[in-house]
Structure 1
Amino acid sequence: MSITLLYWILIALMLVGVVGAVVPGLPGSSVIVVAILVWGFVQGLSAISLALGVAVGVLLLSVGIDFLATYWGAKRAGASKWGQIGAIIGLVLGILGLLPALPVGGPLLGILIGPLLGAFIGEFLSRRQLELELRLKAALKASVGIVVGSLVGNVIQGALALATVIVFVVTTSPP
């Protein structure tokens, strides 16, 4: 395999990582780091030092963004701890496919629907003191806030992952 072909295969793999940074349940920034490391082993680690540093920084930042964006969405929507815990449980169940089988989208939709349902149920249970109508409104608002926050975080992670690929392309030249 030629060096040039390997370079472009790694770029394509990194672009898959960018998509993975946005789409829940797919590997994202970690794929980009691995692709950069492969190039570093072929060309020498000094050739990738800046790109690798940026990629590792983005990988660590992505974890923080995930939590902060979900927390921000929950906070803005007035979600309780129950709603946040419900969203996490719903996410796990959605990833594992324990939600009812969906005719279209399967696990990918489960990853989106799981947190929404989990947050709704958690929030509904935590607001027992409210009338039914107010309880339903609070639960819906909190669950939508958590999911919107999570989606905003995914978009930010995608932008950071794309910036990492751009840094890699700019700092390494195709042979």
Structure 2
Amino acid sequence: MSVIAWTLILASFIISFAGLLYPVIPASLFVFLGFIIYGLFFTFGDLPWWFWAAEVLFLILLFGADFLANAVGVKRFGGSKAGMWGSTVGLIVGPFVIPVAGILAGPFIGAVAAELIFNRMPPGRALKSGIGSLVGFLTSVAAKASIQLVMIILFLIVIP
């Protein structure tokens, strides 16, 4: 039974990292799913209250890192709120429209299109905003991967 439990836990952690590249997969929830599976198969008693408090703080940090990296990336490269929203829409739609490459092309195209349509930016400046969305996305993926890794390491340290 423990082999099944650890297989499910490991699978949920792996899916959480896949969620970094495919935003339709709620990455952070899969990390928590691994913790819940552990508690259901073994015992929640191994996971003290401070562990849950720390993990919730990391979860808040994950959401903040995602939003902040995208916002800073677009803003730093001269983009606007429209560019940020376009980037977000492109991030969600891109992988479905352009498999594999859509994860990078989607935010770029979304930011550029939003800047051109809603702000009537010159094409050069809109392209710069698109590059900012890519930088923001890649920064966000790196930050979230690091945070998720810390969450999982904390889990592995806490369990007996």
Identify the match of residue 109 of structure 2 among 117, 123, 142.
117
1:40-79 equivalences in 2 (<5 Å): 40-49=39-48, 50-79=50-79
- Per the alignment, residue 81 of structure 2 pairs with 81
Alpha carbons 1:82, 1:122 under 8 Å: kept = yes
Q: Which letter maps to 1:77?
A: F
- Per the alignment, residue 30 of structure 2 pairs with 31
Find runs of 4+ consecutive structure 1 residues off by over 4 angstroms: none
**Matched residues, number:** 158
Alpha carbons 2:9, 2:38 under 8 Å: kept = no
Q: Which runs of 5+ in 2 are unaligned?
A: none
Alpha carbons 1:36, 1:51 under 8 Å: kept = no
Counterpart Cα distance in 2 of 1:127 and 1:12: 45
Q: Which letter maps to 1:146?
A: S
Counterpart Cα distance in 2 of 1:39 and 1:127: 50
Identify the match of residue 149 of structure 2 among 162, 170, 173.
162
TM-score by length of 1: 0.77
Larger relative contact order (C-alpha < 8 A, sep ≥ 6)? 1
Counterpart Cα distance in 1 of 2:30 and 2:51: 14
Alpha-carbon deviation of 1:60? 2.4
Percent of matched pairs sharing the same residue: 28
Q: Which runs of 5+ in 1 are unaligned?
A: none
Task: Tell me the alpha carbon deviations over residues 53-79 of structure 1, each in whole angstroms, 9 at most, x when there is no partner.
Answer: 333322222112111110110111110
Q: Which has the larger radius of gyration?
A: 1
1:117-156 equivalences in 2 (<5 Å): 117-126=109-118, 128=120, 135-156=122-143
TM-score by length of 2: 0.84
Q: Which letter maps to 1:120?
A: V
